[in-house]
Amino acid sequence: MNRLTNTLEDLKNKSKKALVAYLVAGDPDIETTLELMTVLVESGVDIIEIGVPFTDPIAEGPIIQKAHDRALKNNVSLKSIFEMVDKFRENDDDTPLVLMGYLNTFIFNKALIEDNKNNVIDSVLVVDIPGELKLKDYGVYNPNINTISLISPTTKKDRIESIAKNSSGFVYYVTLRGVTGASNLDVNEISSNIEEIKKHASVPTLAGFGIKSAEDAQLLSQCSDGVIIGSSIVQMIEESSQSKEFDRIRTYITDIKNAIS
């Protein structure tokens, strides 16, 4: 069975919330990303979302945009990301890995997804494809990789239903109108929308975009099955890219983990 599905079921059985961390592959370089992935797991992260850099990441705020640019300067491609993940899997065969990126990269590199040698990747999350469309129809398909769809505060009820039914792995609820790293969370709206999603989805619903502090995470974990943290981690990676001292990230993750437990 798929690592992502396994992990989420396991957490559910233990009545625990999932903690998902996002970083951009190749920021500041592939070796450091590999090291950081281990740091994240050791600090309590359940699932890692690997950002696949793209020249035109329209859903990202400035922090993650800059990370994409840094990675692209290092010529990071989906091919080199698969090589990195192969290395990660030598020491960790349990942590679910999700590739998050933009449609053009996945269509262009569909052979890599189809191949997914040794099943190193568990899931794909494409930001710019509507939830009722299937990646399979664009040639992006592997029976062992599930596809996560996004639902946002502006998604109408009839679409919530069809997207929720179409999503495997989990449903990603975008908590705000805006780009990643923004800060205008409306907890009442979020909890009522997630309630609606849960009526239709057979998979868990996780919340992401704009979650910064342990307080945010704690609040949102009460109405969801878990939280996704991105921009804050990416910012800390940028700040530590010279020193390669990642203790701050460890502390930050541990605090959030405690807050949602």
Active site residue ranges: 49, 60
CB atoms within 10 A of CB 244: 11
- Tokens 């794909």 locate to 124
**Torsion over CA: 224, 27, 4, 203 (sign):** positive
Q: How far is the CB of 110 from another protein (least distance, A)?
A: 10
Q: How far is the CB of 258 from another protein (least distance, A)?
A: 31
HSE-CB of 32 using CA atoms within 13 angstroms: 20
CB of 82 or CB of 246, closer to another protein: 82
CB of 75 or CB of 251, closer to another protein: 75
Q: How far is the CB of 54 from another protein (least distance, A)?
A: 7
Q: How far is the CB of 104 from another protein (least distance, A)?
A: 4
List strand residue ranges (DSSP E) for the chain, in order: 18-24, 47-51, 97-101, 123-126, 146-151, 171-174, 205-208, 226-229
Separation in Å, CA 102 to CA 30, 55, 88, 124, 170: 19, 10, 23, 10, 18
* Residue 224 in tokens: 């969801």
CB of 104 or CB of 222, closer to another protein: 104
CB of 141 or CB of 214, closer to another protein: 141
* DSSP conformational letter for 89: H
- Cite the DSSP H helix spans in 75-170: 78-91, 103-108, 110-115, 157-166
What are the residues binding another protein (CB under 8 A)? 54-61, 65, 69, 72, 77-79, 102-105, 107-109, 127-131, 149-156, 159, 163, 174, 177-179, 182
